[in-house]
Structure formats: C-alpha cells, structure tokens
Structure 1
Amino acid sequence: MRYATLRIDNTLTAARIEGDRAVLVDAASAVDAYLRRDHLTDTGEVDARTAHYARVSPTPAHILCIGLNYRSHIEQLGRPTPAYPTFFAKFPSTLTGPRDAITLPRVSDRVDGEAELAVIVGRRLRRADTKEARDAIAGYSVANDMSLRDWQHRTTEALQGKVFDRSTPLGPLLVTSDELDDARDLNVTFTVDGVEWQRGNTGDLLFKPAELVAYCSTFLTLEPGDVILTGTPGKTSGAAKSLTPGCQLITAIEGLGAAINSTVADPLPDTRPLWQERT
C-alpha cells in the first residue's frame, strides 16, 4: 500500500495513493492510516498529482539518524568500516513537507543536503530481533537530511548542524515493505537545479533497515511513527560547496517518489557576530 499525509484547508488528513488518485480516508496521517489499515473509511478524493503533501509522520516520538552507512561513502571518505551504527538524533520540529520551501539560515555559510531512505516504525518495539524488527516496519519514505556543515563540525557532536527548524523533508509517500522487497535495491539520488549531487543504491547499505530497527530497540522503546534515517551515499563530482536561496532540490528514491523543495532566504538576521561577542 501507499499512504500519504495531505494538507487540505490547513488540516492534515491521510490518503491512499492509487496512481493519480489520492483517496482520502478517515485517518489523521499516513502513519495513522497504516495503523488502522483494516478499518478505514473512504471520505473523498483529490488529484494525487496536485495534492499538498505534508510530512508522512507529523509528530514522531523519536527521529534517529545513521551516519557512515553506505560502504562506497565510507571508502570515499577513507574511513574505517564502523563496527556499530553511528547515531545522532533530530526533533519533530526539524521535519517539513516534501513540497515545502526550506529556509536557509543566515547564520550558516555551508548548507548541504543528503538524500536518505527513511524507515517508518509501525508498532511499539523493545529488544526485538531482526525478524521482529522487519515485521514492525510500517514502510519506507524519502528524506533529505539538510545540514549546516559549519555548525556540524564545530564540535565532535553533529547535533547542532542537523536540527535547524523545518529543514528535513519527509515524504511524499509511506510505502509498505511488501511493495519494495524490504527496500533491498533502490536507487537514491539528490539533484540541485538539475545537477546530480548524489547517487547511490540501498543495496550498498552497511546496516540494513531491519538491523537498524532491532539495534535501536535494544536501547530505546520505539513507537509507531518513529523515523530512522538510514544514512546517505557519497557526493558526485557535480556537488557544489553550499546551497543558496533559489535552488530546486529533488531528493528521489526509486519506488518512493521524490521530495521537491525550493530554498529561500532567511528573513531573520545573522546573529553570529553577536554570538561571538558574547563568547
């Protein structure tokens, strides 16, 4: 199945996507529709091609992100292969819709994007093995882990460069595992104004989705709607140094559609000199 969270008249509602049809159902989000999939009632229909897609999981309890998880990317960086997954976290306030504009903060001179396969958890899970974890995956989606590189590398912890407001598109679809063969072999791309910045394939993932879900469940009780970003492939030769206002970003994964976002200038001032004076 293919579910989406749509924004209609400033209200979120779920839809079942059937080709060009978005069949509205009596659920609040794509995750809610998945959880109630055997008890849904159709309530209307809109054109899936022109619908306003919102983030598929609007308010996850947890957003966990994996670094260094594509073998080719690890080799490109000249880093040793990790023995365990490398984690950082995001907050629900970082999420935005797959068609929404992304404001580039004036406080950063180095904003980058990262195409990622997102895993959406479908039920509460604690201390699961890999089989239980695979069965608990609601489905997969597209994400762009936008990053302020200059902030990310200020310290050894990446958090401050990863959590600026409304910076992580999630969607447009939640596609169930049975339609994607557990996301084993999907092409992943990220383009900026038509120039390819990234290309990879989920077959190159070091830690697979079910392994990551099981691993996370050993130290954290996962909840329905939780999001795990599985890492990003390396950069192509066409990748530039920083995104600027006025760019069109297309983050696409085979079988999952594409997040298409424009970048806009920040209306807030650059407060870095003030910050530096205070320190």
Structure 2
Amino acid sequence: MIRQPVVAGSFYQSNVRYLLDSIEDAFKSSSGFGEIPTLSRFKYKDSMLTGILVPHAGYMYSGAVASNSYAELALDGFPDTFVILCPNHTGLGDPLSVFSEGEWVTPLGHVSVDEIFSKELINNSKFASSNFEAHMQEHSIEVQLPFLQYFSKDFKIVPICMGVQDSAFVDDILDAIIKAQDVTGRDIRVIASSDLSHFNNQKIAENLDNLILEDIKNMDSLKLLSDVKSNNITMCGYAPAMVAINYSKIKGEGISKVLKYSTSGNVTHDYNSVVGYGSAIFK
C-alpha cells in the first residue's frame, strides 16, 4: 500500500525547496529551537530519548513548536524505527488502526513502513488491526514525516491511529509495542502526535493546557486522562501522549521535559479562539 500525501500544499509546502525552507525557518524561529541542529551520528543504541510529543497543525501555526522536539531527537540520533501514534480525526477505520505495510510519500520522498515490527505488534495486541482506511485522510502522522526526512532517509515507521483513547487501549498498545520490540530487536522512538486544547480564548486555553503540561512534566498519564475528562479538555491525542509517558517509565528513566508551549493566537493574533501546541521529550 502506498499512502500518498493529502495535506501537502495546505498544512505544509508541496514544493520541495519551499518545504525545506519552511522547516529551516521553524527551527530558526523565536518559538523554535533557535538554530538548525545536526543529526548525531553516534551509535543510537546509547540514546537517552525514548520519545517525543509534537503538535500536528499546519507548519505556520505549530511548526516552530514542533521543531524543539525534533531538534532534540536529531541531536540524540535516529533509531531504526519510529512508532508514530496519532488520534483519529476522521472517524474512519478501526478502533486501533496500524498501517502495517508499504510506504508513505511526501514531497521529500518515500518512507517505508517497518512491516516486521507492525506484524509483531498486531499479533501481540487484543485491539490492533491492519487497517489503511483510518490513515488515508488523517493528517496528524503525515505532517511529522518531513521533519524526520529533513535529517535522514534511513529510518522506518510504524503508523498507529488511535480511534479509541482509553486506558485499556493505551495499556494494550504499549504492551504490544514492547513485545514487538523485544522480538524484533529494533531500536525505536515513540512519537506522540497531539495538539492541546481547541477553540477556547487564550486565557482559558493557557489554563487548561497548563494542566496537561504539568501532568506530562510529572509523568502522570492517569492524571492526564483524568484532567482531560473532568475538565473537558479537547486535547486530541491524549492517548498517544499516555503511551509515550508509560513507554518512558518502562524503557527509559521515566522523566520528561516540556520544551515549548504556544497557541495559534500567538501566530494569528486572534486570541478569541485558539489551539494550543506543546512539545516535550521523554527519557
């Protein structure tokens, strides 16, 4: 299965030169990392990072925020495989849809799916299935790929779209990821694709998003889920964030760092209805 780009030309530039320029501008932005990092060539088995949290809006809105996480990822060195988890904005597909074979295409080229890892993951999950429909119009993994391709073409991906975001599905997919990693021996990083609160005014958005970011700092996935539910926070990818937190606790040091927070209002200067964006790393 070849997954063609569906948001090139809208969420990010479709022209290769303009796309590369926009990624570099994101890194150099005042809300970005501040400079263009260099991909580490050290042996990635010694990596400190287990994963990252990144937003998935159009690059003009959230690209600078995302660049902070991608800079740390590049400086840490790339793994064999990125397991990329996202929410399901379209409602298509299965509750836990894995794009299990083939390639994803962006203006910067093709990215291969890690078919061996995907098969092991599905075999070890009660809920995951091989399903392409959930991914065909979903933007929240596609927008991550050019940031990765900017640094290297030597990696594979496991795209996972979470249509159900509850503790049972988080625990199941986490267990399946770890078992697949143990069987395949892959070095992986988990990428959790999520925007924060949606369509509140700036003050309310900051208050709600600060709850989420504090939970991420504290590595408290259950409180994150509780805060999302009890405060009706419209964070779209809270389950992917929970997976990244819990994976770090098992495979890493169990610590995180929130790198940057901003909103769409800081770009458009319309503070009446904003979307929050956060970047974080997990070790």
Q: TM-score range by the shorter chain?
A: under 0.3
More strand by share: 1
Looking at CA atoms only, which structure, 1 or 2, has the larger radius of gyration? 1
TM-score of the superposition, structure 1-length normalised?
0.26
